[in-house]
Structure formats: structure tokens, C-alpha cells
Amino acid sequence: MLFLSGGTGTPKLLQGVKTLLPQENITTIVNTAEDTWESGNLVCPDIDTILYLFSDQIDETKWWGVKQDTFHTHNALKKLGEREQMMIGDTDRASHIIRSNLIRAGKNLTEATQILARQMHIKANILPMSNDSVATTLHTDKGWLHFQDFWITEKGLPHIEQVQIKGIERAKITEDIRNAIESEDTIIIGPGNPVTSIGPILKLRGMKTLLKDKKVIAISPIINNKPVSGPAGKLLSAEGYSVSSAGVAEYYGDILSLFVIDKQDNTSPEDFDVPVIKTDTMMTSIKKSTGLAKKIIELQA
Ligand code: GDP
């Protein structure tokens, strides 16, 4: 099975999927537009979450970082005057150091991710959306901000006027991704921020053509005009879409074959141009993630 993922919603779904399928049968294409260098190392927040999920290390209370991690290096760096805007745990940083050393030694991000995954005994196939650097920047009432500056330093508060995915026009789809998509009939877009997590993957040159003849099933991250978590609402508005499941379906456009919305969402299935299924999408426990995963596995058949 093949998933497109950001760093919170799809990982929750994958937590259920991995209780039902062998990891070898799971491929995840992961957003890299939120990647950033921090204290000398390349942090890939969404890839890290997926790595820690499949190696059973993820801190499920936050959906980032390693559970029970310590923060000695982070605290020491801050004391020494480093910016360190992200809270990076000591174990988490070990992955960043290895990744950055591999990249400095000439490996690309896909190779570095594969090496890290192997070291963590992960059998799932984790594919960065591109080896080329891409960065989501937001034009706000505080000027242009990298997504991480908006979300962490500014706590998601500034008004967003414009979204720019820097480098997306030049970024290439990797051979691994092309092969992975070509060998699947169905693609699952998990619940994710449509603009900053799934959008960059879909905007890669050639991606929509690759998905054209596939059965694409997406799960809405919005329930009744509110995202379950995070800034998806602000970003959809900034892009001119309504903050609703209908707005998300419109954003994804004609690549969609089937759209899954929450059973509590009041929007009528008739309001969509695409077939809609209502089910419980609130993944507040592994049991609930597994329930939704089971449903998605049934739907892909
Ligand atoms: P990020 O990389 O941390 O920004 O996270 P994602 O791109 O994965 O975005 C998380 C999106 O998934 C948010 O827009 C949430 O509204 C949505 N989300 C999070 N948890 C759930 C859930 O349990 N169910 C549903 N339907 N959506 C969720």
C-alpha cells in the first residue's frame, strides 16, 4: 500500500496500518517542504516522525520526537547562544547528525533515509518526496517566514497572505517514487495539511500525471470547518479555499477517486464532485487508528 504523508495525520493512520500489514507492504512518500537546518544538522520533521513510527520510537503524545528523550544538548546549545528554535531531543539529534554526515559525504536524501531506516531495522519503504531542497515560506503580516518560523517561533499566530513553496518548480520526482507509484493501483492521501504537507508532494512536476490513472483515496483533515489539529485552516483560507472538507476536496481536485470524511462532518456527500464515504476518522487511540486503517484497506480493494 502506498501513502502520501505529512507529520501527524497520516502517521496516526499508519500506526493502525502497521498492526494489520507487514511493514514490507507499506510505502510512504513523505513531505520534505518543512525541512530545515538546525544547529548544523538537517532536520526532516515529517521523515523523522515516519522513521520513529516504524521503529516504535515515536512520542505519541506530540507526534514528533522520540519518546522519553532527554534534552541536554538542546539546553546546552541554547545556553551557549545557539538559536535552536526546535526542541530537539538527544536521541532525535543522533538521527539528524547521521543524516547530515551522509549528505555532506555526497549521499542524497533518499539514500540517507534508507540508511537510517536500515539502522532502525525498519522494513517499510520510506521515500522523501524529492532529493531536491524545497521550502514552504509564508507571506504574513510579519513578513516572509519559513514554515517553521511561523509555526514554532511565531506560534502559528501571524495572518497568512500568501504561500510559496520555494524550489518546487525545479524539484524532481525520484526514480524510487516513480517506481513505487507505477507499481500500485491505489494511492492513499492520509489526513494531512493539504497546503503544506500534501500540496508540495502533489505540486512536484509530473506527480499529478503519475496519479492520473490511479485510484486515489484521501481522508479529510477537517471536520465541520475546523482542522483536527494544526494550521490547515489558516493555510486553506490563504490559498482561497473554504475551511471545510469540501474545500479540501476542491484543493485536491480531479486526482481524487474517493474522499473519506468524518461521520461527524455535517457536509452532505451530494456537495462534492467526487464519491464520499463517511466514517469515524478521529484517531485518538491505536484502536481507532486500526479501525480507520481497516476501512481504508477495504476501500482500496
Ligand atoms: P504536520 O506535518 O505536523 O503539519 O501534520 P500533517 O500534515 O500530517 O497534518 C495534520 C493534519 O491532519 C491536520 O490538518 C489535522 O487536522 C489532521 N488530523 C490530525 N489528526 C487527525 C485525525 O485523527 N483524524 C483526522 N481526520 N484528521 C486528523
Q: Quick check: CB of 232 below 6 Å from ligand 1?
A: yes
* pLDDT score at 183: 97
Which residue ranges in the chain fall short of pLDDT 70? Answer: none
Select from 48, 163, 197 the residue to mutate for testing ligand 1; criterion: most ligand atoms less than 8 Å from CB: 197
Distant-in-sequence contacts of 271-275, Cβ < 8 A, 24+ apart = 271/246, 272/245, 272/246, 273/249, 274/249
- Atom from ligand 1 closest to the CA of residue 197: 7
Q: Quick check: CB of 283 below 6 Å from ligand 1?
A: yes
DSSP 135-193: EEEEEETTEEEEHHIIIIISTT-SPEEEEEEETTTT----HHHHHHHHT-SEEEE-S--
Does the domain spanning 1-41+122-301 belong to CATH 3.30.70.270?
A: no
In whole angstroms, what is the distance from residue 215 CA to residue 187 CA? 6
* pLDDT score at 301: 82
Domain locations along the chain: 1-41+122-301
Nearest CA-CA partner of 9 in 26, 24, 27, 30: 30
pLDDT tens track for 31-79: 999 999 999 999 999 999 999 999 999 999 999 999 999 999 999 999 9
Instruction: Please state the pTM of the whole predicted model.
Output: 0.97
Q: Quick check: CB of 145 below 6 Å from ligand 1?
A: no
Q: Quick check: CB of 10 below 6 Å from ligand 1?
A: yes
* pLDDT score at 250: 97
In whole angstroms, what is the distance from residue 100 CA to residue 107 CA? 9
Residue 212 Cα to ligand 1 middle (Å): 25
Select from 14, 35, 228 the residue to mutate for testing ligand 1; criterion: most ligand atoms less than 8 Å from CB: 228
Q: Quick check: CB of 9 below 6 Å from ligand 1?
A: yes
* pLDDT score at 206: 97
Nearest CA-CA partner of 50 in 68, 33, 69, 27: 27
* pLDDT score at 284: 96
* pLDDT score at 157: 96
The protein residue whose alpha carbon is closest to atom 24 in ligand 1 is: 282
